[in-house]
């Protein structure tokens, strides 16, 4: 069918073939994959909340009240008190007028851009934004322009090169494959005079950065300057789903026009209740972020001594650049033989020649586990 076997063989020949591992048990640093015990450094459970008993208890209690499935889309009869309360609490936490829940971050990005822009409008996106933002721009039929990664001069050139009634500047807050942070204050300064809106996908910063976990907007103290904020709940929050936070007018517009909101079954109410508990924990237990930062510092100091090619990242995402896809896969496999799980990231997810091992840390890791990872990496040098 459509020469699919040739495509699959081509992927294998290039070292780009993807396969899944089957995990047995909850998200924790030590798990069983395909029947083998492994120490995992590839989860986005940055604060260790995915296995928190308090979060699980909230979920279980909510299942008794709401059942398992939501039954319908939010605009039919799938929107419960749990969903509504979570939206209000996220809005308060982020300092926004309103928040709107989506079933995934991918759908949130698709829903926002396609609802707000049309043919003749312009999207200006950082070269390394998440794939969902690029797909969102294409779906909207707006003209898509890319600026060099975190390069403000390049952004300015793009801004000035096209005139349009509506422009949205899109960037990740924390870039998922490099772990670096977008220079939001500089972006705000350039955009203010260009009658454009700023959208930040803070999937990997929300819950992790800032003194209270509000993400990049708190890290840079620029909340009022960001028009559209997207955050996910399946990473630092340890649950599932996503949200858009912004003005009253923005959220009401999305309710009316966002197809990925209107035509999608709502997340289960039990997930919303579990996330409400995660939000409380996140606000009250700063030690989780502090612990994660300590592990990052431990890894980076030792990694540099080993001669690892690390990206300048202050976040739980710590890539090790190795070059070719074949080398990245080989190193990942060698670590797996030692019982250490680290993902090999290859093109097209990252540019050619920048294949890497993507190490991610969680507050649930221990110093001893980080040492084990470092010893495993040293054995590959």
DSSP string, 183-208: -HHHHHHHHGGGT-EEEEE-TTTTTT
For residues 264 and 320, membership in a common domain is answered with no
**Rg, C-alpha atoms of the chain:** 21
Is the pTM here over 0.85, yes or no? yes
The CA–CA distances, whole Å, from 185 to 44, 106, 124, 199, 257 equal: 26, 25, 17, 13, 30
For residues 280 and 300, membership in a common domain is answered with no
SS3 221: coil
State how many domains the chain has. Answer: 2
For residues 90 and 157, membership in a common domain is answered with yes
For 99, list phi and psi in degrees, rounded to 5: -140, 150
Neighbours of 37 (CB within 10 A): 10
Residue 5 forms part of a structural domain: no
Q: How many CA atoms lie within 13 A of 79 on its CB side?
A: 15
- Enclosing domain of residue 175: 53-284
Residue 368 Rama label (left phi>0; alpha psi -120 to 50; beta): alpha
Instruction: Render each residue's pLDDT in the chain as its tens digit; 381 residues.
Output: 678 988 999 888 887 888 888 888 889 999 998 889 999 999 999 999 999 999 999 999 999 999 999 999 999 999 999 999 999 999 999 999 999 999 999 999 999 999 999 999 999 999 999 999 999 999 999 999 999 999 999 999 998 888 888 899 999 999 999 999 999 999 998 887 667 899 999 999 999 999 999 999 999 999 889 999 999 999 999 999 999 999 999 999 999 999 999 999 999 999 999 999 999 999 999 999 999 999 999 999 999 999 999 999 999 999 999 999 899 999 999 999 999 999 999 988 898 899 999 999 999 999 999 999 999 999 998
pLDDT value, residue 193: 62
- Cβ contacts of residue 7 below 8 Å, gap of 6+? none
Nearest-angstrom CA–CA distance, 216 and 186: 13
Give the CATH number, domain containing residue 215: 3.40.640.10
Domain boundary among 284, 307, 322: 284
8, 9, 15, 21 alpha-carbon torsion, rounded to 10°: 50
Q: Is the peptide bond before 348 cis (omega within 30 degrees of 0)?
A: yes
Nearest-angstrom CA–CA distance, 290 and 220: 18
The residues pairing with 358 across neighbouring beta strands, listed in sequence order, are 319, 343
For residues 117 and 196, membership in a common domain is answered with yes
For residues 280 and 292, membership in a common domain is answered with no
For residues 256 and 363, membership in a common domain is answered with no
Measured over the CA atoms of residue 104, residue 110, residue 111 and residue 116, the dihedral's sign is positive
């Amino acid at each position: 069918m459509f020469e699919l076997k040739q495509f699959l063989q081509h992927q294998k020949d290039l070292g780009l073939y993807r396969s899944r591992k089957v995990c047995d048990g909850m998200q924790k640093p030590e798990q069983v994959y395909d029947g083998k015990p492994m120490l995992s450094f590839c989860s986005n459970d940055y604060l260790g909340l995915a296995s928190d008993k308090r979060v699980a208890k909230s979920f279980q209690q909510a299942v008794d009240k709401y059942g398992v499935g939501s039954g319908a889309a939010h605009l039919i009869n799938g929107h419960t008190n749990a969903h509504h309360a979570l939206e209000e609490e996220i809005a308060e936490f982020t300092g926004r007028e309103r928040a709107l829940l989506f079933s995934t971050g991918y759908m949130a990005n698709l829903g926002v851009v396609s609802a707000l822009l049309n043919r003749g409008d312009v999207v200006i996106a950082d070269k390394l934004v998440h794939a969902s933002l690029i797909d969102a721009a294409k779906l909207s039929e707006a003209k898509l322009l890319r600026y060099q990664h975190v390069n403000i001069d390049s952004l300015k050139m793009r801004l000035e090169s096209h005139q349009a009634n509506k422009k949205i500047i899109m960037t990740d807050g924390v870039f998922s494959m490099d772990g670096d942070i977008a220079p939001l204050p500089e972006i705000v300064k350039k955009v203010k005079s260009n009658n454009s809106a700023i959208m930040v996908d803070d999937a990997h910063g929300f819950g992790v950065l800032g003194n209270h976990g509000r993400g990049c907007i708190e890290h840079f103290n620029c909340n009022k300057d960001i028009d559209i904020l997207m955050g996910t709940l399946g990473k630092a929050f340890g649950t599932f789903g996503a949200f858009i936070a912004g003005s009253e007018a923005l959220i009401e517009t999305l309710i009316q026009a966002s197809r990925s909101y209107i035509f999608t079954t709502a997340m289960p109410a039990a997930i919303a209740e579990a996330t409400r508990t995660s939000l409380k924990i996140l606000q009250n237990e700063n030690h989780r972020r502090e612990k994660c930062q300590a592990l990052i510092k431990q890894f980076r100091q030792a990694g540099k001594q080993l001669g690892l090619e690390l990206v300048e990242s202050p976040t739980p995402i710590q890539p090790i650049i190795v070059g070719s896809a074949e080398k990245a896969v080989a190193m990942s496999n060698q670590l797996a033989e030692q019982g250490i799980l680290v993902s090999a990231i290859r093109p097209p997810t990252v540019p050619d020649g920048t294949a890497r091992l993507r190490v991610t840390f969680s507050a649930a890791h221990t110093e001893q586990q980080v040492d084990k990872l470092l010893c495993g990496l040293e054995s590959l040098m």
